[in-house]
Amino acid sequence: MPDSRAIVILTGAGISAESGLATFRGPGGLWEGHRVEDVCTPRALARDPALVHRFYDLRRAALETVLPNAAHHALARLEREWPGDLLLVTQNVDDLHERAGSRALVHMHGALRSALCAACGHRRDWQGSLPPGTACPACAAPAMRPDIVFFEEIPYHMEEIEAALARAGLFVSIGTSGAVYPAAGFVRMARACGARTLELNLEPSAGSGWFDEVRHGPASEIVPRWVGDHLAAHP
Q: Which long-range contacts (CB under 8 A, 24 or more apart) does 119-122 make?
A: 119/143
Phi and psi angles of residue 199, each rounded to the nearest 5 degrees, phi first:
-110, 130
x/- binding map, residues 65-94, to ligand OAD, per CB under 6 A? --------------------------x---
Q: Using CB under 6 A, which of 19, 114, 197, 205 touches ligand OAD? A: 205
Of 109, 157, 216, 230, catalytic: 109
Residues near 38 by beta carbon (within 8 Å), at least 6 away in sequence: 44, 48, 51
Query: How many beta carbons lie within 10 A of that of residue 52, not counting itself?
Result: 23
Residue 127 to residue 134: CA distance in whole angstroms: 13
- Of 69 and 195, nearer to ligand OAD (C-beta) is 69
For the question of residue 109 being annotated catalytic, the response is: yes
CA angle 110, 114, 120 (to 5 degrees): 90
Q: Tell me the closest approach of the beta carbon of residue 205 to ligand OAD, in angstroms.
A: 5
Report DSSP state, residue 139: T
- Of 203 and 213, nearer to ligand OAD (C-beta) is 203
Span interacting with ligand OAD, options 8-16, 59-67, 73-81, 157-165, rule CB under 6 A: 8-16
Using CB under 6 A, which residues numbered 108 to 127 contact ligand OAD?
A: 109
CB 182 within 8 A of CB 158: yes
Q: Tell me the closest approach of the beta carbon of residue 4 to ligand OAD, in angstroms.
A: 26
Residues near 105 by beta carbon (within 8 Å), at least 6 away in sequence: 87, 88, 89, 90, 97, 98
Q: Using CB under 6 A, which of 86, 96, 112, 149 touches ligand OAD? A: 149
Q: Tell me the closest approach of the beta carbon of residue 14 to ligand OAD, in angstroms.
A: 2
Question: Looking at the chain, how many residues does it have?
Answer: 235
CB 184 within 8 A of CB 206: yes
Q: Tell me the closest approach of the beta carbon of residue 194 to ligand OAD, in angstroms.
A: 25
Using CB under 6 A, which residues numbered 150 to 189 contact ligand OAD?
A: 175-177, 179-180
By the rule CB under 6 A, 218 interacts with ligand OAD: yes
Show which residues are catalytic.
Answer: 109
* Binding stretches for ligand OAD (CB under 6 A): 12-14, 17-18, 23-25, 29, 40, 91, 109, 149, 175-177, 179-180, 201-203, 205, 218-219
